[in-house]
């Protein structure tokens, strides 16, 4: 029995030594990791100064590094520095991470809340009840860190409308880390006491230190992935969106049209293609200046969006020429949409920035009910109808159909929107 007790005591001392070594090793590794990742984030920011959030996150790592360094000086310096000041820096580091999340989604910096945790801690530590109640001090510290970590997760969650895949792992990771902090063992287990207390405290400190180290590494990669993903998304957007009007450019329009053509092959539906040209646009630029001309283009894009369904496709092909693709629509409905675009734009562009611009558009429309959707060919046919609209006085809609064009072997055969409306009424 005595041997068994001695064996258990020896095993407990061995476990304590091993766990203590693990904590010390993790402590040193954490210092190196915080320093390397903080400098890495700042280096990434230096390459692209527009990534302001990455700068905040880099300083958060370095601030946490300073905090860990002060914790490591425990016993060699006054407790005011190794405990109170170290914790204040630690809370500030988490607050800086939260601020970086706000900056990432375009929200303003909150200087007061940035230091609230640190100031609250320094004030509370001066209270007599806090001087000897280690459990209460640990609970308050954990609550502050959990609060800032949950706020970080919340900021990322608020921006969920932006299609960033890496945003969701960030939300989960920061929320889980905040929860674990509230569940941690009070730091009283680290103070001198029984051997079992030392073993229990060391085991939990090893787990917590490991979790914190893993969060440090994984969060850096997740944050960098979010910044990289957003940069790529904006580059793709810039390559596919016309910056003046905010609608698809020629490349994006043809890309969307090709995708629609593939779906059309599997499930054919009536489709209409509109080719639209602003009448006498050069004259508008010459008389009122290019800024007014740019406003006219933006007004047309807005009028087109308001007159079409969300499933329809519209794009700027170049200059004052636009195109639209109406899916699952009859010939009469397509004409109705084209007329609505023409009338809406004429009303909106009658007065532009105080100038009597009175801009109008001519529209060529082709309706297709064939199984194969050849968008470039339909654009060519719509161009023939647009030419007729311009020949017949502009500010009008001319309509043709792919069947008519093919039957006439290229002979232009168009009808005005008024004629089609009359037929429909009859």
In this prediction, residues 359-365 reach a mean pLDDT of 94
Residue 157: pLDDT band (50, 70, 90) is very high
pLDDT of residue 203: 54
In this prediction, residues 274-286 reach a mean pLDDT of 93
Of residues 14 and 390, more confidence is placed in: 390
In this prediction, residues 131-155 reach a mean pLDDT of 87
Residue 414: pLDDT band (50, 70, 90) is low
Share of the chain above pLDDT 70, in %: 82
In this prediction, residues 236-250 reach a mean pLDDT of 86
pLDDT of residue 40: 94
The correct answer on CATH 1.20.1070 for the domain covering 2-240 is yes
**Is the distance from CB of 20 to CB of 202 less than 8 angstroms?**
yes
pLDDT of residue 400: 83
pLDDT of residue 126: 79
Cα(45)–Cα(49) distance, rounded to whole angstroms? 5
Sequence spans of domains, the chain: 2-240, 248-425
Expressed in angstroms, the distance from the first to the final Cα of the chain is 109
pLDDT of residue 191: 42
pLDDT of residue 420: 54
Within the chain, how many helices (H) and strands (E) appear?
16, 7
Tens digit of each residue's pLDDT (9 = 90 or more) over 302-338:
999 999 988 888 999 989 999 999 988 888 999 999 9
Pairing of β 313-318 and β 321-327: antiparallel
At 368, list the tokens: 């297709």
CATH value of 248-425 in 3.40.50.150, 3.40.50.1220, 1.10.3080.10, 3.30.70.270: 3.30.70.270
Q: Which residues contact 259 (CB under 8 A, 6 or more apart)?
A: none
pLDDT of residue 224: 92
- Res. 107: pLDDT tops 60: yes
Tens digit of each residue's pLDDT (9 = 90 or more) over 45-84:
999 998 999 999 999 999 999 998 888 888 888 888 888 8
Phi-psi region of 409 (alpha: psi -120 to 50; beta: other; left: phi over 0): left
- Res. 399: pLDDT tops 50: yes
Cα(152)–Cα(26) distance, rounded to whole angstroms? 25
Residue 15: pLDDT band (50, 70, 90) is very low
- Res. 20: pLDDT tops 60: no
Mean pLDDT of the chain: 82
DSSP sequence for 223-275:
HHHHHHHHHHHHHHHHHHB-TTTSSEEHHHHHHHHHHHHHHHHHS---EEEEE
Residue 312 DSSP one-character state: S
Tens digit of each residue's pLDDT (9 = 90 or more) over 192-214:
444 444 444 445 556 666 767 78
pLDDT of residue 323: 94
């Amino acid at each position: 029995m005595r041997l068994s007790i001695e064996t258990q005591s020896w095993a407990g001392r061995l476990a304590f030594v091993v766990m203590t070594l693990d904590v010390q090793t993790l402590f040193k590794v954490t210092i190196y990791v915080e320093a390397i990742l903080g400098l890495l984030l700042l280096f990434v920011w230096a390459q692209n100064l527009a990534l302001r959030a990455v700068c905040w996150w880099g300083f958060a790592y370095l601030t946490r590094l300073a905090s860990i360094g002060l914790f490591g000086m425990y016993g060699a310096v006054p407790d005011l520095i190794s405990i109170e000041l170290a914790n204040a820096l630690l809370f500030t580091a988490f607050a800086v991470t939260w601020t970086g999340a706000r900056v990432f989604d375009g929200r303003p910096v909150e200087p007061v809340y940035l230091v609230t945790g640190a100031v609250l801690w320094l004030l509370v530590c001066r209270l007599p009840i806090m001087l000897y109640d280690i459990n209460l001090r640990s609970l308050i510290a954990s609550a502050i860190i959990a609060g800032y970590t949950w706020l970080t997760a919340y900021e990322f969650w608020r921006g969920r409308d932006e299609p960033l895949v890496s945003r969701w792992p960030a939300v989960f990771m920061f929320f889980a880390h905040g929860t674990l902090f509230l569940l941690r063992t009070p730091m009283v287990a680290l103070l001198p006491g029984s051997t079992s207390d030392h073993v229990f405290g060391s085991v939990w400190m090893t787990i917590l230190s490991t979790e914190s180290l893993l969060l440090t590494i994984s969060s850096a990669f997740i944050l960098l992935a979010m910044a990289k993903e957003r940069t790529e998304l904006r580059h793709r957007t810039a390559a596919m969106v016309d910056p003046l009007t905010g609608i698809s450019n020629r490349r994006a329009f043809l890309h969307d049209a090709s995708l629609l053509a593939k779906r059309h092959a599997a499930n054919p539906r009536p489709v209409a293609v509109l080719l639209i040209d602003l009448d006498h646009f050069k004259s508008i630029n010459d008389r009122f200046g290019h800024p007014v001309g740019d406003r006219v283009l933006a007004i047309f894009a807005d009028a087109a969006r308001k007159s079409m369904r969300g499933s329809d496709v519209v794009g700027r092909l170049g200059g004052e020429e636009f195109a639209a693709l109406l899916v699952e629509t009859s010939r009469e409905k397509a004409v109705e949409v084209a007329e609505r675009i023409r009338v809406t734009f004429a009303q909106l562009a009658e007065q532009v920035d105080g100038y009597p611009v009175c801009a109008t558009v001519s529209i060529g429309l082709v309706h297709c009910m064939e199984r194969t959707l050849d968008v470039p060919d339909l654009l060519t046919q719509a161009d023939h109808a647009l030419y007729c609209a311009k020949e017949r006085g502009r500010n009008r809609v001319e309509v043709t159909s792919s069947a008519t064009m093919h039957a006439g072997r290229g002979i232009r055969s168009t009808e005005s929107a008024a004629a089609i409306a009359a037929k429909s009424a009859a």
